[in-house]
């Protein structure tokens, strides 16, 4: 993980150069003191609140039947020396026409104010029209510069990935805990799904897309679309897998930078229930917030590996198979009772 000292400060030396350096330091310090915020949006019931509860161990109300998140709910995480990172759990759209009007106005406000916005879709769905219409409505209500800004903050996730088929999900047990991962066929399906959502929500908006990341050490590559300054590396357009592969092959020393640029345009499948991909989600969000966040919330990143751990006793209750022998009137098999 990058250290704050790694970020190059620009010109060095005396006189005007020193002044420039001081300006950069001042600017950076103001930037690093700013409270950071992330919002999570999407249709009602896709699992936004559950995802936040898993990420932060909070106990926000989850709606199993009806929508329960009625107003933006903040979850604040303290960083070092008083720095704050706030996650805003938003009410879900699609509950009713009247509610949508209010909620979409709240979305626009957060899309402008927050530093990163997670837009969540249910993984086991192919219907994109409603979210597209809402997103287009929001984008079309603002000037093109704001549209660019909004798109540069959005990160798309597919929730409840555990509901997808074909099985199996593989539980990698390590003592009393373990992690869930998809089997080969399901992994391919998840990748296809993510690519599909990317083709619907990112690809057609290539003209207003931009991805940026911090960089450690020397980065000197630039071309028509790729550029860098003291704040980091930027790419104008859709940083697709093909684009990422091409740059990584040409400039292998900067593979990590390209991979972070790519992460910003990747649709990420995850599951709150299986705690699947939560580490990648959290790392992606913090990286996207920039070097100040990486520095002030490094504790969060150090603990991030623990996010995916599921106790064995909990895991064995998922996808349980119980066979009832109807002729004998007894239980013939119960997966949760098998010794491990």
Ligand X SMILES: Nc1nc2c(ncn2[C@@H]2O[C@H](COP(=O)(O)OP(=O)(O)O)[C@@H](O)[C@H]2O)c(=O)[nH]1
**Chain position whose Cβ is nearest to ligand X:** 47
**Segment near Mg ion (CB under 5 A), from 65-73, 175-183, 198-206, 301-309?**
65-73
Q: What is the closest distance, in whole angstroms, from the C-beta atom of residue 47 to ligand X in the complex?
A: 3
**Segment near Mg ion (CB under 5 A), from 22-30, 48-56, 224-232, 290-298?**
48-56
Q: In terms of CB distance, is 44 or 213 closer to Mg ion?
A: 44
Q: In terms of CB distance, is 50 or 213 closer to ligand X?
A: 50
Q: What is the closest distance, in whole angstroms, from the C-beta atom of residue 274 to ligand X in the complex?
A: 7
* Contact with Mg ion (CB under 5 A) among 69, 211, 213, 271: 69
Q: β-pairing, 154-159 with 84-89?
A: unpaired
* Contact with Mg ion (CB under 5 A) among 37, 49, 240, 264: 49
Binds 240, which of Mg ion, ligand X, none (CB < 5 to 8 A, cut-off by type)? none
Q: What is the closest distance, in whole angstroms, from the C-beta atom of residue 335 to ligand X in the complex?
A: 17
Site for ligand X, rule CB under 6 A: 44-50, 62-64, 67, 69, 92, 159-160, 162-163, 271-273
Judged by DSSP in three states, 2 sits in: coil
CB 270 within 8 A of CB 281: yes
**Terminal CA-to-CA distance of the chain, rounded, Å?**
36
Size of the site for Mg ion (CB under 5 A): 3
Q: What is the closest distance, in whole angstroms, from the C-beta atom of residue 94 to ligand X in the complex?
A: 10
Q: What is the closest distance, in whole angstroms, from the C-beta atom of residue 93 to Mg ion in the complex?
A: 11
* The two three-digit tokens of residue 195, written as one number: 């690519």
Give the integer Cα–Cα distance in Å for 336 and 340. 10
Give the integer Cα–Cα distance in Å for 40 and 88. 6
Give the integer Cα–Cα distance in Å for 117 and 253. 30
Q: In terms of CB distance, is 158 or 244 closer to ligand X?
A: 158
Residue 121 CB neighbour total at 10 angstroms:
25
Q: β-pairing, 177-182 with 116-122?
A: unpaired
Q: What is the closest distance, in whole angstroms, from the C-beta atom of residue 317 to ligand X in the complex?
A: 13
Length of the chain: 340
Q: In terms of CB distance, is 43 or 212 closer to ligand X?
A: 43
Give the integer Cα–Cα distance in Å for 55 and 232. 27
Q: Determine what percent of the chain falls in helix, strand and coil, rounding each to the nearest 5.
A: 45, 20, 30
Q: What is the closest distance, in whole angstroms, from the C-beta atom of residue 50 to ligand X in the complex?
A: 3
Binds 47, which of Mg ion, ligand X, none (CB < 5 to 8 A, cut-off by type)? ligand X
Burial of 26 (0-12, 13-18, 19+ CB in 10 A): exposed
The residues binding Mg ion (CB under 5 A) are 48-49, 69
């Amino acid at each position: 993980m990058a250290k704050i000292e790694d970020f190059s400060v620009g010109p060095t030396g005396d006189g005007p150069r020193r002044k420039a350096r001081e300006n950069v330091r001042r600017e950076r310090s103001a930037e690093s003191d700013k409270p950071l915020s992330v919002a999570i949006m999407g249709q009602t019931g896709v699992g936004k609140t559950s995802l936040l509860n898993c990420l932060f161990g909070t106990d926000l109300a989850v709606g199993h039947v009806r929508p329960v998140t009625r107003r933006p709910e903040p979850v604040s995480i303290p960083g070092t020396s008083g720095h704050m990172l706030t996650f805003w759990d938003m009410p879900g759209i699609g509950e009713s026409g009247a509610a949508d009007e209010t909620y979409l106005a709240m979305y626009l406000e957060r899309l402008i104010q927050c530093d990163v916005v997670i837009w969540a879709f249910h993984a086991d769905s192919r219907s994109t029209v409603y979210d597209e219409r809402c997103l287009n409505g929001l984008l079309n209500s603002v000037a093109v510069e704001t549209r660019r800004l909004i798109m540069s903050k959005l990160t798309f996730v597919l929730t409840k990935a555990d509901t997808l088929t074909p099985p199996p999900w593989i539980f990698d047990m390590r003592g009393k805990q373990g992690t869930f991962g998809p089997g080969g066929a399901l992994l391919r399906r998840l990748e296809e799904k993510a690519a599909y959502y990317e083709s619907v929500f990112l690809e057609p908006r290539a003209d207003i897309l931009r991805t940026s990341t911090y960089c450690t050490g020397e980065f000197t590559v630039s071309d028509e679309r790729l550029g860098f300054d003291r704040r980091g590396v930027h790419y104008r357009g859709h940083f697709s897998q093909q684009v990422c592969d091409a740059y990584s092959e040409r400039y292998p020393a900067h593979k990590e930078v390209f991979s972070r640029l790519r992460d910003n345009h990747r649709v990420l499948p995850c599951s709150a229930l299986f705690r699947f991909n939560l580490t990648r989600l959290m790392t992606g969000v913090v990286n996207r917030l920039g070097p100040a966040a990486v520095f002030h919330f490094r504790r969060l990143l150090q603990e991030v590996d623990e996010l995916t751990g599921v106790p064995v006793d909990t895991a064995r209750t998922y996808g349980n198979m119980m066979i009832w022998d109807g002729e004998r009137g007894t239980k013939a098999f119960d997966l949760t009772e098998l010794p491990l």
